[in-house]
Amino acid sequence: PSLVILAALGVLAIGYTVPPLKLCWRGLGEIDVGVTHSLGVILCGYAFQGGAWTNPWPWLVAVPLFFAILPAITLSGIPDYSADRAVGKGTIAVRLGPRMAVRLAQATTAAAAVTAVALLPRLIDSGILEAILLLIVPYAIAQVVLMERYLQRQLEPRRIDGLMALALTYIVFFVAIPLWVLV
């Protein structure tokens, strides 16, 4: 089973760019990154340590991380919008437009926090709820508000280093907090 998981993840990782899949050109690149960097990593670790890949635990614990990854990978397409559009690359930013890409990043930020509250205390430890409520939920609110301010100020795709740093840091909470509780 571990080799099958690795092979599937290899296909997804390489298929992000390489034909015939070329997922990043078809509007599926962001989903691919979300799956490989959440479920892929967690499922590999779980299976390599002897867990059955059919166990729902690694699949469910990966859901909040999946949603936490999507804002960063979605926002990363905004500065490249014009170039990607010119060459026909179908990122979410190109397919939906930069404004809707930010809206999607806001929605997936909220989805990450909601699924963390709903799933992680049941799957990992009830004590994790306090850390989620004190760290993840306020951070998610701040991230959504700052993305909203970006939308109010700027319509042209441009560098968004601050938003990217914020979104990438958000991902860390979904790894560090469960790891801290498990260790």
pLDDT of residue 6: 87
Closest CA to 74 of 49, 53, 92, 95: 92
Output the tens digit of pLDDT for each of the chain's 183 residues.
778 888 999 999 999 999 999 999 999 999 999 999 999 999 999 998 999 989 999 999 999 999 999 999 999 999 999 999 999 999 999 999 999 999 999 999 999 999 999 999 999 999 999 999 999 999 999 999 999 999 998 767 778 999 999 999 999 999 999 989 887
3-state secondary structure of 157: coil
pTM: 0.94
pLDDT of residue 113: 98
Q: How many CA atoms lie within 13 A of 120 on its CB side?
A: 28
Q: Do residues 45 and 61 touch, judged by C-beta distance below 8 A?
A: no
pLDDT of residue 24: 93
pLDDT of residue 155: 66
Say how many Å lie between the first and final Cα of the chain, rounded. Answer: 26
Cis peptide before 20 (omega within 30 of 0): yes
pLDDT of residue 157: 73
What is the rounded distance in angstroms from the CA atom of residue 16 to the CA atom of residue 3?
20
Contacts of 107 (CB under 8 A, 6+ apart): none
- Determine which helix (DSSP H) or strand (DSSP E) holds 148, and give its type and residue range: helix 137-153
3-state secondary structure of 47: helix
